[in-house]
Structure 1
Amino acid sequence: MSFESDQRLQSEQQAQTCAFGNMRIRIPQSSMIDCIGYDDAAGTLSIWFCDTGRYLYYGVPAALFEAFCNAGSAGTFFNERIKDRFCYVRDPERRRFGPNV
Protein backbone atom coordinates (compact mmCIF):
# COMPACT_ATOMS: atom_id res chain seq x y z
CA MET A 1 0.00 0.00 0.00
CA SER A 2 1.38 3.40 -0.93
CA PHE A 3 1.79 6.27 1.51
CA GLU A 4 -1.00 8.22 -0.24
CA SER A 5 -3.37 5.23 -0.09
CA ASP A 6 -2.58 4.75 3.57
CA GLN A 7 -3.28 8.43 4.32
CA ARG A 8 -6.57 8.30 2.40
CA LEU A 9 -7.65 5.16 4.31
CA GLN A 10 -6.81 6.82 7.64
CA SER A 11 -8.80 9.92 6.64
CA GLU A 12 -11.82 7.79 5.71
CA GLN A 13 -11.64 5.92 9.02
CA GLN A 14 -11.37 9.17 10.97
CA ALA A 15 -14.37 10.57 9.09
CA GLN A 16 -16.44 7.57 10.18
CA THR A 17 -15.37 7.87 13.83
CA CYS A 18 -16.70 10.67 16.00
CA ALA A 19 -17.33 11.46 19.64
CA PHE A 20 -20.82 11.41 21.15
CA GLY A 21 -20.73 12.59 24.74
CA ASN A 22 -18.18 10.35 26.45
CA MET A 23 -18.48 7.75 23.72
CA ARG A 24 -16.39 7.17 20.60
CA ILE A 25 -18.69 6.15 17.75
CA ARG A 26 -17.93 4.17 14.61
CA ILE A 27 -20.27 3.34 11.73
CA PRO A 28 -19.15 0.09 10.10
CA GLN A 29 -20.21 -1.07 6.66
CA SER A 30 -22.36 -3.95 7.85
CA SER A 31 -25.72 -5.52 7.13
CA MET A 32 -25.95 -6.66 10.77
CA ILE A 33 -24.63 -3.68 12.77
CA ASP A 34 -25.64 -0.03 12.34
CA CYS A 35 -23.20 1.54 14.76
CA ILE A 36 -20.70 0.75 17.50
CA GLY A 37 -19.58 3.01 20.33
CA TYR A 38 -17.19 2.80 23.23
CA ASP A 39 -17.17 4.64 26.55
CA ASP A 40 -13.54 4.62 27.70
CA ALA A 41 -14.34 5.68 31.26
CA ALA A 42 -16.90 2.92 31.80
CA GLY A 43 -15.33 0.24 29.58
CA THR A 44 -18.72 -0.19 27.94
CA LEU A 45 -19.25 -1.17 24.32
CA SER A 46 -22.55 -0.14 22.72
CA ILE A 47 -23.72 -1.93 19.61
CA TRP A 48 -26.73 -0.83 17.60
CA PHE A 49 -27.99 -3.82 15.63
CA CYS A 50 -30.02 -3.26 12.47
CA ASP A 51 -32.92 -5.46 13.56
CA THR A 52 -32.93 -5.43 17.36
CA GLY A 53 -31.60 -2.05 18.49
CA ARG A 54 -28.90 -1.18 20.99
CA TYR A 55 -27.17 -3.49 23.46
CA LEU A 56 -24.56 -2.54 26.07
CA TYR A 57 -21.60 -4.87 26.70
CA TYR A 58 -19.66 -4.41 29.97
CA GLY A 59 -15.98 -4.90 30.75
CA VAL A 60 -14.86 -4.72 27.14
CA PRO A 61 -11.20 -3.66 26.75
CA ALA A 62 -10.51 -0.57 24.62
CA ALA A 63 -8.17 -2.64 22.43
CA LEU A 64 -11.08 -4.89 21.49
CA PHE A 65 -13.12 -1.86 20.41
CA GLU A 66 -10.18 -0.73 18.24
CA ALA A 67 -9.93 -4.19 16.70
CA PHE A 68 -13.72 -4.15 16.09
CA CYS A 69 -13.37 -0.82 14.26
CA ASN A 70 -10.69 -2.28 12.00
CA ALA A 71 -12.34 -5.66 11.37
CA GLY A 72 -13.04 -6.69 7.80
CA SER A 73 -16.51 -7.86 8.83
CA ALA A 74 -18.22 -6.30 11.86
CA GLY A 75 -20.75 -9.15 12.06
CA THR A 76 -18.12 -11.87 11.99
CA PHE A 77 -15.99 -10.03 14.55
CA PHE A 78 -18.99 -9.67 16.85
CA ASN A 79 -19.89 -13.37 16.58
CA GLU A 80 -16.32 -14.57 17.13
CA ARG A 81 -14.97 -12.11 19.71
CA ILE A 82 -17.85 -10.48 21.60
CA LYS A 83 -21.04 -12.55 21.53
CA ASP A 84 -21.41 -14.74 24.65
CA ARG A 85 -18.09 -13.45 26.07
CA PHE A 86 -19.24 -10.34 27.95
CA CYS A 87 -22.14 -9.43 30.21
CA TYR A 88 -24.72 -7.39 28.33
CA VAL A 89 -28.12 -5.76 28.61
CA ARG A 90 -30.61 -4.49 26.10
CA ASP A 91 -30.67 -0.68 26.02
CA PRO A 92 -32.53 0.24 29.21
CA GLU A 93 -33.82 3.47 27.63
CA ARG A 94 -35.36 1.68 24.67
CA ARG A 95 -39.11 2.03 24.42
CA ARG A 96 -40.90 -1.23 23.90
CA PHE A 97 -44.12 -1.28 21.92
CA GLY A 98 -44.70 -4.99 21.79
CA PRO A 99 -43.77 -8.16 23.61
CA ASN A 100 -40.32 -8.29 25.19
CA VAL A 101 -38.32 -10.65 23.06
Structure 2
Amino acid sequence: MPMSAAIRHHHYTPETAELSLWFGPEGRRYIYSDVPLAVYEGLRDAPSRGRYFNAVIRNRFACRLADPSALRNRRWQAIRSAS
Protein backbone atom coordinates (compact mmCIF):
# COMPACT_ATOMS: atom_id res chain seq x y z
CA MET A 1 0.00 0.00 0.00
CA PRO A 2 1.45 3.42 -0.93
CA MET A 3 2.21 5.69 2.00
CA SER A 4 1.80 9.45 2.30
CA ALA A 5 3.56 11.85 4.62
CA ALA A 6 0.49 14.11 4.77
CA ILE A 7 -2.40 11.64 4.59
CA ARG A 8 -2.18 9.31 7.57
CA HIS A 9 -5.34 7.28 7.03
CA HIS A 10 -8.32 7.11 4.68
CA HIS A 11 -11.78 5.59 4.81
CA TYR A 12 -14.59 5.55 2.28
CA THR A 13 -18.28 4.95 3.00
CA PRO A 14 -19.96 3.92 -0.27
CA GLU A 15 -23.52 4.27 1.10
CA THR A 16 -23.00 7.99 1.69
CA ALA A 17 -20.15 8.61 -0.80
CA GLU A 18 -18.14 10.19 2.03
CA LEU A 19 -14.37 10.09 2.06
CA SER A 20 -12.65 10.60 5.41
CA LEU A 21 -9.00 11.62 5.39
CA TRP A 22 -6.76 11.98 8.44
CA PHE A 23 -3.93 14.49 7.94
CA GLY A 24 -0.61 15.11 9.62
CA PRO A 25 0.79 14.00 12.94
CA GLU A 26 -2.16 15.52 14.83
CA GLY A 27 -4.57 13.31 12.86
CA ARG A 28 -7.13 15.93 11.92
CA ARG A 29 -10.00 14.26 10.10
CA TYR A 30 -11.71 15.89 7.16
CA ILE A 31 -14.85 14.49 5.57
CA TYR A 32 -15.36 14.99 1.82
CA SER A 33 -18.90 14.66 0.45
CA ASP A 34 -20.24 13.17 -2.79
CA VAL A 35 -16.95 11.53 -3.72
CA PRO A 36 -17.38 8.88 -6.44
CA LEU A 37 -16.05 5.42 -5.69
CA ALA A 38 -13.65 5.70 -8.65
CA VAL A 39 -12.04 8.78 -7.06
CA TYR A 40 -11.54 6.91 -3.78
CA GLU A 41 -10.08 3.91 -5.61
CA GLY A 42 -7.69 6.25 -7.42
CA LEU A 43 -6.55 7.70 -4.09
CA ARG A 44 -6.20 4.26 -2.53
CA ASP A 45 -4.06 2.98 -5.42
CA ALA A 46 -2.07 6.15 -6.18
CA PRO A 47 1.74 5.99 -5.98
CA SER A 48 1.56 9.35 -4.17
CA ARG A 49 -1.65 9.98 -2.24
CA GLY A 50 -0.66 13.58 -1.57
CA ARG A 51 -0.23 14.34 -5.26
CA TYR A 52 -3.46 12.55 -6.14
CA PHE A 53 -5.31 14.45 -3.42
CA ASN A 54 -4.02 17.80 -4.68
CA ALA A 55 -4.79 17.00 -8.32
CA VAL A 56 -8.18 15.29 -7.99
CA ILE A 57 -9.83 15.95 -4.61
CA ARG A 58 -8.66 19.22 -3.09
CA ASN A 59 -11.04 22.14 -3.79
CA ARG A 60 -13.30 19.88 -5.88
CA PHE A 61 -15.50 18.34 -3.20
CA ALA A 62 -17.30 19.89 -0.27
CA CYS A 63 -15.44 19.17 2.93
CA ARG A 64 -15.71 19.74 6.64
CA LEU A 65 -13.48 19.18 9.63
CA ALA A 66 -14.84 16.34 11.73
CA ASP A 67 -15.63 17.40 15.28
CA PRO A 68 -12.60 16.31 17.33
CA SER A 69 -14.64 16.10 20.52
CA ALA A 70 -17.09 13.68 18.87
CA LEU A 71 -14.20 11.44 17.86
CA ARG A 72 -12.83 11.45 21.41
CA ASN A 73 -16.31 10.63 22.75
CA ARG A 74 -16.66 7.67 20.37
CA ARG A 75 -13.27 6.33 21.40
CA TRP A 76 -14.18 6.69 25.08
CA GLN A 77 -17.51 4.91 24.52
CA ALA A 78 -15.72 2.05 22.73
CA ILE A 79 -13.28 1.71 25.63
CA ARG A 80 -16.10 1.73 28.19
CA SER A 81 -18.17 -0.85 26.31
CA ALA A 82 -15.14 -3.16 25.98
CA SER A 83 -14.61 -3.23 29.76
> When the two structures are superposed, what TM-score results if normalisation uses the length of structure 1?
0.63
2:34, 2:40 → 1: CA distance? 11
Q: Match of 1:32, as an amino acid?
A: A
Taking only aligned residues, the RMSD between alpha carbons, in angstroms, comes to 1.3
- Structure 1 unaligned segments of length 5 or more: list them: 1-12, 14-27, 96-101
Larger relative helix fraction: 2
1:50 CA drift (Å): 1.2
Q: Which runs of 5+ in 2 are unaligned?
A: 70-83
* Equivalences for residues 51-62 of structure 1 within 5 A: 51=25, 53-62=28-37
The aligned counterpart of 1:82 is: 57
For residue 3 of structure 2, the aligned residue among 8, 20, 29 is: 29
RCO higher in 1 or 2 (8 Å CA, sep ≥ 6)? 2
Report how many aligned residue pairs link the two structures: 68
- Larger radius of gyration between Structure 1 and Structure 2: 1
In terms of fraction of residues, the more strand-rich structure is: 1
Equivalent position of 1:67 in the other structure: 42
Runs of 4+ residues over 2 Å off in structure 1 = none
Give percent identity, aligned residues only: 34
1:3-36, Cα deviation, whole Å (9 max, x unpaired) = xxxxxxxxxx5xxxxxxxxxxxxxx511101001
